[in-house]
Every structure is written in structure tokens, then in C-alpha cells.
């Protein structure tokens, strides 16, 4: 008996991941705020979905204001478009919450659907995958090379990188060359991987100085009533070492550390660190742990720890420390 298939796209996520692979960070930035070029072969993805059975439904989430060039192939595939408005018109829409709610709602209402194809995922979708498996769905996923995540893959019956689809266009040369070369060249590739995993950093050396500044706040952290005050103090101190630093870069430092679960919910109206954060080394370890999970765990090849150290700190001095932490992390997960 043929499977009944439903396809759900995080279209923005896949499109911009492929833009990075094809055009690099500079080329992608030039395209922001303009009608987007076609980088996704809708037909290749849908052909893949049809290998599992009859496709009953296809639904794609994104900010379609800039995606009009996809109108014809999506219409031919009878794909329902869900508009998600971005907080900033010049940035990709965050479709995660809308898509998670809709996928679960659809599956629960259509018991005849036995296979789900999810397109354009990152590790934010692990819980959704677990929930779909609990509902008895066969789960298949398509993502860009830089979106590959070991934990996400383990939750799917099948996970395919976009360029490995039978009818996908050839993988761009730029993407292949980024994984080899000097540590400095590989470090740039690692930063693109981090960006696709939701971590957008200031320049590495600036990030590393910022971590040192935050360690200095441990002594008198209670003076900050909100993140605006915290950013302003970090900005003042950062400019002593890096006069050209901007407030945007300061906010990126804080956002990266926020993803490290460095801060705890306020109990007295003031910002504070988690209780286990006692010194500079603890902050550095939280930062390295986050980036190992977002970069090293999402590569298809051996990690170049010299390049990873360059990407995270601006020097190769932390290569051995990163390698040790990564091996300990892998041992714990086995």
C-alpha cells in the first residue's frame, strides 16, 4: 500500500543556506532586501518526496515578499504558501514557531498521512521530530550541507543534503573549496556554518575580548538593571581595545553569550549569571561548548581545530583545548 506524504518547508532557512553556499556571506548580503534569485529546485525536493508515496499536501513558510521568482514552480507543485512577517524587513523571517504548530496540527487532523518530509531544518526542530515520531510518522528531511546536525539526523528515518538529491543541481565549487585550504580559509567556512546554526558572531578577536570583559562583570554584576545598560558598559570597555567597535558588534557578543545560557532569570530586577559561572574559564567553556555543538558537530569531515580556534578566538592558541573538549563531548554522547 502506497504511503500518504505531506511536505512542510522552512523555505527561508533552506533558501538562505543555499545562498551562503553558492555566493558566500558577501554575495548573500548584497541580495538581502531584493527579490531573491532562485537557489532551490522545488522540483528536485518534490521528486524526492514522491519516492515515498503519494504527496497529499505541500506547505511552505517564509516571507514571500522577496520570493516571487519561486511562484511558478511552487504553484505547479500545488504548494500552499504561508506568509511569515520578519521583525526586520531586511532579514529572513523566523518561521520556526509557526511551522511547528502547523505541522503538528495537520498531522493530528490527518490520520491517513503516514510520511512527513521536512525541508530546511536545523537543530531547533529536534523536538518536533521527536513528537512526529511519537505520533507514528515516517520522517524524512532535506537540508543544506551547513544545516546538517547529528542529533537531528538521528531523529529522522532518512536525512538528505539538498545537493545529494537525485535531481538537484551540482554542488557549487565554492562550497567544496571552503572545506579545504589554509586554517584561515577554513575558519571562514566554520563561521558560515555557525551562522546557519543560528549563531551570528562579531569578528572572532572582538568576541574573545568581549568574553574577557564579561568575566570582569562577575565582580559587580548586580549593577545592571537591563541589557541596554550591560551593552553600554561592554561598548565602553570594548572600544578601549578596539576603537572601531560598534554597538551592533557589542549586541552580537551578548547574543552569543545568551545562547550559551550564561544568564539566569532575574530574581531581583537585575541581570545575573547562572550560579555555576564563577570565572573567565567557565565563560570560555560555555562559549566553546556552544560553538562545538553548532560547528564541529555539523561537519561532514574531520574538524580542523587550528581553524576552529581561529574562527572562535582569532588565534590558533585554543586548538588543543577545543580538541580535548570535543572528544570529551563525543565520549559523553556515546
* pLDDT, average across residues 149-160: 87
* pLDDT, average across residues 284-310: 90
* pLDDT, average across residues 52-61: 95
* pLDDT, average across residues 156-169: 89
**Using only C-alpha atoms, what is the Rg of the chain?**
21
Single out the residue of 39, 34, 36, 12 nearest to residue 93, CA to CA.
12
Average pLDDT, the chain: 86
- Classify the C-alpha dihedral 164-153-22-44 as positive or negative: positive
Q: Helices (DSSP H) in the chain: which residue ranges?
A: 11-31, 42-50, 71-76, 96-109, 126-134, 150-155, 173-177, 183-196, 204-216, 227-241, 247-259, 280-294, 305-313, 319-333
Q: Is residue 264 a contact partner of residue 273, using CB atoms and an 8 Å limit?
A: yes
Q: Give the per-residue pLDDT at 106.
A: 95
Q: Is residue 140 a contact partner of residue 115, using CB atoms and an 8 Å limit?
A: yes
Is 109 exposed, middle or buried (CB count within 10 Å of its CB: 0-12, 13-18, 19+)? exposed
Q: What are the φ/ψ torsions at residue 115 (nearest 5 degrees)?
A: -130, 135
Q: Is residue 97 a contact partner of residue 78, using CB atoms and an 8 Å limit?
A: no
CA atoms within 13 A on the CB side of 164: 10
Q: Give the per-residue pLDDT at 198.
A: 78
Distance CA 107, CA 250 (A): 42
Distance CA 187, CA 194 (A): 11
Interstrand relation of 3-10 and 53-62 (parallel, antiparallel or unpaired)? parallel
Indicate whether 117 pLDDT > 60.
yes
Single out the residue of 104, 96, 289 nearest to residue 211, CA to CA.
289
pLDDT single digits (tens) 233-281: 999 999 999 998 899 899 999 999 988 888 876 666 677 788 888 899 9
pLDDT single digits (tens) 169-182: 877 644 434 456 78
- Classify the C-alpha dihedral 171-193-298-321 as positive or negative: positive
Q: Give the per-residue pLDDT at 174.
A: 42
Q: Give the per-residue pLDDT at 321.
A: 96
In a 3-state reduction of DSSP, which class is residue 34? coil
Indicate whether 334 pLDDT > 70.
no
When pLDDT is cut at 50, 70 and 90, the band that residue 225 belongs to is confident
Distance CA 233, CA 16 (A): 34
- Please report the domains of the chain, with CATH numbers, ordered by start residue: 3-174 (3.40.50.1010), 183-333 (1.20.120.1790)
Amino acid at each position: 500500500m502506497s504511503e500518504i506524504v505531506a511536505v512542510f518547508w522552512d523555505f527561508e532557512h533552506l533558501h538562505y543556506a543555499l545562498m551562503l553556499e553558492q555566493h558566500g556571506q558577501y554575495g548573500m548580503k548584497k541580495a538581502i532586501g531584493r527579490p531573491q534569485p532562485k537557489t532551490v529546485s522545488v522540483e528536485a525536493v518534490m521528486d524526492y518526496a514522491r519516492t515515498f508515496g503519494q504527496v497529499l499536501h505541500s506547505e511552505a513558510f517564509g516571507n514571500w515578499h522577496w520570493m516571487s521568482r519561486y511562484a511558478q514552480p511552487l504553484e505547479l507543485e500545488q504548494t500552499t504558501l504561508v506568509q511569515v512577517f520578519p521583525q526586520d524587513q531586511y532579514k529572513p523571517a523566523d518561521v520556526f514557531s509557526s511551522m511547528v504548530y502547523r505541522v503538528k496540527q495537520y498531522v493530528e487532523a490527518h490520520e491517513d498521512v503516514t510520511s512527513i518530509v521536512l525541508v530546511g531544518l536545523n537543530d531547533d526542530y529536534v523536538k518536533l521530530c521527536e513528537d512526529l515520531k511519537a505520533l507514528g510518522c515516517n520522517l524524512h528531511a532535506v537540508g543544506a550541507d551547513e544545516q546538517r546536525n547529528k542529533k537531528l539526523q538521528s531523529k529522522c528515518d532518512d536525512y538528505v543534503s539538498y545537493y545529494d538529491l537525485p535531481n538537484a543541481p551540482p554542488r557549487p565549487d565554492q562550497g567544496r573549496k571552503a572545506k579545504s585550504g589554509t586554517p584561515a580559509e577554513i575558519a571562514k567556512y566554520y563561521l558560515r556554518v555557525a551562522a546557519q546554526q543560528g549563531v551570528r558572531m562579531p569578528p572572532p578577536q572582538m568576541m574573545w575580548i568581549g568574553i574577557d570583559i564579561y568575566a570582569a562583570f562577575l565582580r559587580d554584576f548586580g549593577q545592571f538593571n537591563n541589557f541596554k545598560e550591560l551593552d553600554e558598559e561592554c561598548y565602553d570597555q570594548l572600544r578601549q581595545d578596539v576603537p572601531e567597535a560598534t554597538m551592533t558588534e557589542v549586541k552580537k557578543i551578548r547574543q552569543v553569550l545568551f545562547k550559551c545560557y550564561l544568564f539566569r532569570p532575574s530574581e531581583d530586577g537585575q541581570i545575573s549569571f547562572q550560579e555555576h559561572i564563577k570565572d573567565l574559564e567557565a565563560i570560555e567553556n560555555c562559549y566553546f561548548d556552544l560553538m562545538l555543538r553548532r560547528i564541529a558537530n555539523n561537519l561532514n569531515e574531520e574538524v580542523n581545530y587550528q581553524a576552529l580556534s581561529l574562527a572562535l578566538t582569532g588565534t590558533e592558541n585554543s586548538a588543543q583545548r577545543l580538541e580535548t573538549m570535543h572528544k570529551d563531548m563525543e565520549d559523553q554522547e556515546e
